[in-house]
Structure 1
Amino acid sequence: MKTFKTPMFLLTLFLCTITYSQNSADHTPWDRILVLNVTQNGLVNYEGVTTDVIIFYEYFRYLQNIAPQEHWDKKDKLAYWINVYNATAMKMILDEYPISSINEIENPWKRKAFKTNGTRYSLDDIEHNILRKFGDPRIHFLLNCGSMSSPGLWNRAYTGENISYALEERTSEFINDPQKNQITTNSARISELFKWYEEDFTSNHIEVIDFINQYAQVKVAPNTELKYVTYDWNINKKNEVTPITSNN
């Protein structure tokens, strides 16, 4: 990967924000990278990120060095692991960039790309063995694997302070995004996320439609047949467009 020079004063400014807190992680550098390089609809200017790649890698190393402590608040732990997932997916893409899909990387879901507290984790490990155990299906709408059909990457870092808001806002945004779901009163063409993680969305003894209707601006009638939009694995690059296709 081509490395771009970063002005020393900017690098110093970013690195000075990384502090080791006893009660939570400091995600300020990640927040600034996202603000500068992610659009409002969650697409990434990867060329912009590569310009500040030294800052990004320093933040990534920081995440590895500050494993959550038992006394951390649950919200801070959740924010940490969601940021870890999203930053790990981005690092895997940056390490191989330019690529057109994360699936061009050898075994991306099982690759042990993140290490903290002596343990190595893959994206699957982080999602299935850590994040899903928080018991909140809304986490699926905060995780970004660098694909067009993935929930858009938020142009903010998740923190203990904003995670409750983000869970609600990001879930509502995803469900009502016509590029991800096409919902009318009597039809529903929805993301394959709802098929892959159906047991999470129905864990409170409700149907997938019931979960969707909690957030959908247009409510789907009960017993409506669910159809699924084919997942677009192309990289979530700025100025790209996701075609909507049906996968019955």
Structure 2
Amino acid sequence: MKNAILVVLTVVLSCSISADVFDNWNEKYNGLVKDYVKSSTVKGIKGNYVDYKGLRSDKRVNQLRTQLASLPSLSSLPRNKRLACWINYYNFLTLHVVAKNPGLKGLQDLNKPNKNVWNQSVGKVLGSSYTLDHIEHKIIRKYFKEPRIHFALVCAAVSCPNLLNEAYTANKLESQLQSQLRAFALNKKKGINLDKNGRVLRLSSLFDWFKDDFGGNSKKWLQNNKIIPSYALNYKVEYLNYDWDLNALPGKN
């Protein structure tokens, strides 16, 4: 009996310690985005933009990158906590890539002839080297099956959804994802633009690129989620131009 109790206590203590490690990283990341992600208007598009200049000189960036590499496995954590962590890791690594490359017009400036920026290693997570594409497509999309991640993952472009200026957390994840979806949908210049007169539904290209994640029918998915009215299902769909310019605050790249 004593041995059984000891095993249970050991497991509980181990899980508690692991949770604290992840929570501590997320709290530090939370402080970083609160300090450097601000509301502004760039090229006529209102949204959240990043002070990369300030970020570049903040010691917390390298500290977070080093700590991220040494975090233990996420496998024992609940689903929402794992998903929140992976979203935070993707967004942080994207911020880090831009911060260490001053003067970028857009993330695609880092493309190489046979390897675009999303397929280049961006650092270590949990002891292994990752690319942004691997995190997005082979972990988040593959294992979590959550379409709203497309409004949470931010690839540092003007037409991307807003970078949330707080960390994603397990207990707030549902409300955060829903809020991100609605904020993106309400942004007529990069999310959704409903033209009643022309009977045209203009959507972000995200709804085209990831159509399968939205059940193969983005219009129906949006209507089911009460984002567009049912009459818009009969509208012609056009896709908004995607602006890949950097999501930097003016003068802060």
TM-score, length-normalised on structure 2?
Answer: 0.80
Aligned to 2:57: 51
Q: How does 1:152-163 map to 2 (within 5 A)?
A: 152-163=162-173
Cα contact 1:209–1:220 (8 A) shared by 2 = no
1:116 to partner: Cα distance: 2.9
Distance 1:153 1:69 in 2: 23
Which deviates the most, 62-71 or 186-195? 62-71
The residue identity in structure 2 corresponding to 1:210 is: K
Q: Is the counterpart of residue 121 in structure 1 residue 120 in structure 2?
A: no
1:51 to partner: Cα distance: 3.0
How many aligned residue pairs are there? Answer: 217
Unaligned runs of 5+ in 1: 1-19, 241-248
Q: How does 1:76-95 map to 2 (within 5 A)?
A: 76-95=81-100
3-state SS, counterpart of residue 188 of structure 2: coil
Q: How does 1:1-248 map to 2 (within 5 A)?
A: 21-23=17-19, 25-26=22-23, 27-40=26-39, 41-52=47-58, 54-106=59-111, 107-133=116-142, 134-180=144-190, 181-185=192-196, 186-202=199-215, 207-213=217-223, 214-216=225-227, 221-239=232-250
Which deviates the most, 221-230 or 137-146? 221-230
Higher fraction of strand: 2
3-state SS, counterpart of residue 162 of structure 1: helix
Distance 1:117 1:43 in 2: 28
3-state SS, counterpart of residue 222 of structure 1: helix
Unaligned runs of 5+ in 2: 1-15, 40-46
TM-score, length-normalised on structure 1?
Answer: 0.81
1:112 to partner: Cα distance: 1.4
3-state SS, counterpart of residue 49 of structure 2: coil
Q: Percent identity?
A: 27
Q: Note the aligned Cα RMSD (angstroms).
A: 1.9
Superposed CA deviations along residues 189-240 of structure 1, whole A, max 9, x for unmatched, are 111000100000116xxx2112223242666522321100111000001149
When Rg is computed on C-alpha atoms for both structures, the one with the higher figure is 2
Which gives a bigger RCO, structure 1 or 2 (Cα 8 Å, sep 6+)?
2
Distance 2:229 2:159 in 1: 21
Higher fraction of helix: 2
